[in-house]
Structure formats: structure tokens, C-alpha cells
Amino acid sequence: MSKDLNENLSQLGRPAAIADSPDQSRLEAVANPHMDRDYCVRFTCPEFTSLCPVTGQPDFAHLVLDYVPDQLILESKSLKLFLGAFRNHAAFHEDCTVGIAVRIAREIKPKWLRIAGYWYPRGGIPIDVFYQTGESPKDVWIPEPGVENYRGRG
């Protein structure tokens, strides 16, 4: 792991507050310890929250983020703080889900990234949002997201 890269970590191992907005949040990364092979990293956030931009009411989602690292891996505490910054952020489901993926891809430049956003129903309609950066690598095991369909679906 690069010592210079680790010196830039401002949140890991010390108190860090959740930013007022996702744009103000800092995503941090460390050097990929296995540059010699491809592998999948999964982060699961079953209690993601944001606000409806029309009503201001809370929206809830179960997010599953998979990526195949290149030179960097995402530092998990910074991801938690980034996702937490959405709690008071008003945006539609599609904007939150795709925006999270685009921001992470921009920051760590993975070989491949996919996000599945399973949004809980409001008004009787669950909305699921899926995004990926391209074809998944052929020789990497990419598991299914593993989130059950909403029970009320026919």
C-alpha cells in the first residue's frame, strides 16, 4: 500500500462528521493490495435514506454496490459518511442511485462498477434503479445482488 496515499486519509481512524450534502462529502481510497488479479468488491447498504424532492418525506432503499478495482479501492468509512450525507438530500431515486455510482467511478476509476438500488414503495410503487459502467469482466465472479423482490409485487 502506498504510504503517500494513506497519508491523505482524513477520516479513517479519527472522528469525522457527516457532510451537509453529498457534494461536500469526501470519498477516500487506498492502493489496491492485489493489482496482480481481478476481483469483485461488494458494499451493501440496506438502510440508505434520502428525501423526496417534492414532498420532503424520507425515501428508503437497499443499495448493493459491486466493483472491480483497478489501482484504488474505496475506503469504507468514507463511503459510509458519503452515503450518510444523503439523509437530508432531496433527489429522485434515479438521481441518487446513478449519482452515487458516477461519483464513485470518478473518484476511484474502477475497471467495472455496478449499483442496484432497491427503493421501498411510497404511494404503492417500488422503484428499482440499476446502473453499470460497461460489461463485467469475463474472469471475475460477480454474484447476483441477492435482494428479494418486494413482497407486494405481482
CATH of the domain at 41: 3.30.1130.10
Contact between 90 and 52 under an 8 Å Cβ cutoff? The reply is yes
Give the three cell numbers for residue 33: 493490495
Is the pLDDT reported for residue 150 higher than 80? no
The closest alpha carbon to 78, from 138, 121, 29, belongs to: 29
pLDDT band at 18 (very low <50, low <70, confident <90, very high): confident
Q: Quote the pTM value.
A: 0.90
Give the three cell numbers for residue 123: 404511494
The closest alpha carbon to 138, from 59, 38, 71, belongs to: 38
Which residues form the domain of 63?
Answer: 3-10+24-132
Contact between 129 and 97 under an 8 Å Cβ cutoff? The reply is yes
**Euclidean distance between CA atoms 104 and 28, whole angstroms:** 10
**Euclidean distance between CA atoms 101 and 113, whole angstroms:** 7
Active site residues: 52, 59
Is the pLDDT reported for residue 2 higher than 60? no
Contact between 30 and 9 under an 8 Å Cβ cutoff? The reply is yes
Q: Give the containing element (helix H, strand E) for 116.
A: strand 112-119
Q: Which residues pair with 133 in a beta bridge?
A: none
Contact between 113 and 138 under an 8 Å Cβ cutoff? The reply is no
Does residue 93 form part of some domain?
yes
Give the three cell numbers for residue 51: 428525501
Total structural domains in the chain?
A: 1
Per-residue pLDDT reduced to its tens digit, 32-89: 999 999 999 999 999 999 999 999 999 999 999 999 999 999 999 999 999 999 999 9
Contact between 98 and 61 under an 8 Å Cβ cutoff? The reply is no
